[in-house]
Amino acid sequence: MHRKRSKGLIRGFYRSKNGAADFYEEIPTVIIAITAITLFFLAATVAYANYQANYVRIDYQVKCNKFLRDIRAWENLTYNNMEGLFDCRKVATYTLDNITRAFQPDFDFEINITDTSPYYWKYNRTVKTGNIPTTASLQYGVYVISSGIAIFVTEEEIHEGKLTVTIWR
Q: Phi/psi class of residue 104: alpha, beta or left (left: φ > 0; alpha: ψ in -120 to 50)?
A: left
**What is the model's pLDDT at position 89?**
93
pLDDT at residue 72 is higher than 70: yes
**What is the model's pLDDT at position 77?**
92
Hey, what amino acid is at 150? A
Q: What is the CA radius of gyration of the chain?
A: 33
Least confident of 13-17, 21-25, 30-34: 13-17
DSSP, res 136: G
Each residue of 81-137: pLDDT tens digit? Answer: 999 999 999 998 889 999 999 999 988 899 999 999 999 999 999 999 877 776 666
Q: Count CB atoms within 10 A of the CB of residue 49.
A: 10
Tell me how far apart the alpha carbons of residues 35 and 80 are, in angstroms, rounded to a whole number.
68
Task: Work out the percent of the chain whose per-residue pLDDT is above 70.
Answer: 81
Can you name the CATH fold of 60-168?
A: Ribosomal protein S3 C-terminal domain (3.30.1140)
pLDDT at residue 4 is higher than 60: no
pTM metric for this prediction:
0.69
